[in-house]
Amino acid sequence: MRNRLVSAWASAAAAAFMAAATLTTPAAATTSAPSAPTASRDCPQLSAKLPWYGENRAKLQRMIDERGTCNGHHGPRPVAAFDWDNTVSKNDVTDATIAWALRHDKILRPASWKDSSKWMTEEADRALTAACGTDVPVGAPLPTSTDTDCTDEIFNIRESGKTMSGAAAFSGEWDHRHTVPQYAWVPQLFAGHTVPELESYAAAAREEALAAPVGATQKLGTHTIPGYVRYYEQQRDLIRTLQQAGFDVYIVSAGSEPVTEVWSKGVGIDRKHTIAIRSVLDERGRITPYNEGCGGVPVNKGEAIPYIDGKRCWINQEIFHIKGKAAWEKQRWDKRIALGGGDADTDVTFVGDATGAHLVLNRNKNEIMCRAYDNADGRWVANPMFIEPLPQKQGAYPCSTAAWNRPEGGFGPLLRDDGSVVPDQTDSAHAA
């Protein structure tokens, strides 16, 4: 793991965090794209043995041929960035790790559940305290392998942001394009553990999930969730081909960074090229409820994670070295990624920033699929999931009325860069 801040900074950071104003994304700074270079036949080729939908492999190959250093250009290396869960892998590796941890009593009892998240409600605090009890000493493992009430309550809050009774688990104000509390809560759940400990849990979950057959499920209390994970071979091949063609390839995930790093090395991406939620460590090297910040947001408890516009911020800050509030802005053409790959609204901003190709795996998420099917710049590449793809969505995507995730919460009409409304779209890249 990279060197991280320690908790000696936490009290001062907390005060700065509470005082930090909510950021809004300034207007985009853009420049005209240069003329596309001539494609080279010397560039590495995507495997013809791995099936893609329609002409998608040819579209991606054309982008590689145009933008790779294999075509002889002498500028900076082009950058490609991918989300992880359900983009490079089938199923969510964060959920796989949480499930393993709950089944093996690896969640430590906090002194106060409410202190584990800035936004946790009194109702959630009471529900967790009632379900998990107070018999276990603070800092000791909760018996979640046998206490299904505790397991249910923790996982339901992670999954839906609600308690088992249906009460909101989080409340207050946050920018809904910069964070979501139940995502930020995941690394906070592992507070008290060291990074190597969390990596070992992720590695054990990875081994188990890769060994399980496709379609397998597992039970967590009363919840039934996927029991398997697979690397998408098409994405592994795409990443390898991009690297061979001279691209710098990154993972940008809204999961916990130690967990994502365990998985990303399986497609040849090292820690330096893996960006996710970065926990602040205490002086003993243990995970705290605090995270590193982005775009002028200091150390915080989840206010600026790699989520929707937050993924743009982290890419701009960590890859293109753009500091302060400017990291939230759309950058000029030569300070943007060439290829972005995602599957959900959490990815729509950084995938849309790509100058060469916007790859989307179809999980029927409104904002990103509206962008993909509107295809305003002709470079969107929509593809069904490679394993267990979804059938066609019934009815149109509500692009013109309720596809845009508002910063204040809720949904509104999705606009193009010129201010026009994206019309409703029909699902076309799906399983037969």
pLDDT confidence of residue 367: 98
Residue range 336-345, pLDDT digits in tens = 999 999 999 9
Domain assignment present for 314: yes
Residue 395 included in any domain: yes
* Phi and psi at residue 176, to the nearest 5°: -75, 0
**DSSP state for residue 86 in the 8-state scheme:** T
Whether 373 is covered by a domain: the verdict is yes
Statement to judge: residues 276 and 399 lie in one domain:
yes
What token pair was written down for 2? Answer: 């990279």
> What does the pLDDT look like over 236-287, one tens digit per residue?
999 999 999 999 999 999 999 999 999 999 999 999 999 999 999 999 999 9
277 in the same domain as 343? yes
CA nearest to 184, candidates 271, 86, 105, 292: 292
Q: Mark which of 193, 226, 259 sits at the end of a domain.
A: 226
pLDDT over threshold 80, residue 103: yes
pLDDT for residue 390: 97
Residues 246 and 365 in one domain: yes
Q: Return d(Cα 385, Cα 53) in angstroms, integer.
A: 10
Cβ–Cβ under 8 Å, residues 393 and 430: yes
Lowest mean pLDDT among 36-40, 213-217, 369-373, 421-425: 36-40
Domain region containing 62: 7-16+52-91+231-412
Q: How many CA atoms lie within 13 A of 8 on its CB side?
A: 6
Query: Tokens for 175?
Result: 């920018």
- Identify the H or E element spanning 313: helix 309-318
In a domain, 109, yes or no: yes
DSSP per-residue codes, 8-41: GGHHHHHHHHHHPPPP-PPPP---PPPPPPPP-T
Shared domain for 180 and 263, answered yes or no, is no
CATH code for position 241:
3.40.50.1000
Averaged pLDDT for residues 163-168: 98
286 and 363 together in one domain:
yes
Q: What pLDDT band is residue 204 in, cutting at 50, 70 and 90?
A: very high
* Structural domain contains residue 249: yes
Flag whether pLDDT at 20 surpasses 50.
Answer: no
Instruction: Answer yes or no: do 195 and 270 share one domain.
Output: no
Q: Does any domain span residue 46?
A: no
Are residues 12 and 130 located together in one domain of the fold?
A: no
Could you tell me the two tokens for 407?
């910063």
Count the domains in the chain.
Answer: 2
Span 367-376, average pLDDT: 98
- Decide if pLDDT at 213 tops 60: yes
Q: Which of 207, 226, 245 is the last residue of a domain?
A: 226
Residue 379 and residue 252 in one domain: yes
Supply the pLDDT for residue 74. 75
Per-residue pLDDT at 18 exceeds 60: no
**Which residue type occupies 340?**
G
d(CA 250, CA 320): 12
Q: Specify the pLDDT at position 15.
A: 39
Considering the domain architecture, whether residues 178 and 305 belong to the same structural domain is answered as no
* The predicted structure's pLDDT at residue 41: 61
Examine the domain organization and report whether 242 and 114 are in the same domain: no
CA 48 to chain centre: 29
Q: What average pLDDT score do residues 139-145 get?
A: 98
Given a cut of 60, whether residue 225 has pLDDT beyond it is: yes
| Same domain flag for 97 and 125 | yes
Cα distance between residue 350 and residue 330, in whole Å: 9
Residue 253: enclosing H or E segment and its boundaries? strand 248-256
Residue 281 maps to a domain: yes
Asked if 160 and 167 touch (Cβ cutoff 8 Å), the reply is: no
- Reduced to 3 states (helix: H, G, I; strand: E, B; else coil), residue 367 is helix
Domain boundary among 188, 209, 226: 226
The answer as to whether 246 is a domain residue is: yes
Answer whether residue 24 shows pLDDT above 50.
no
Asked if 82 and 184 sit in the same domain, the reply is no
Q: What percent of the chain has pLDDT over 70?
A: 91
Question: Which band of pLDDT confidence, cut at 50, 70 and 90, is reported for residue 23?
Answer: very low
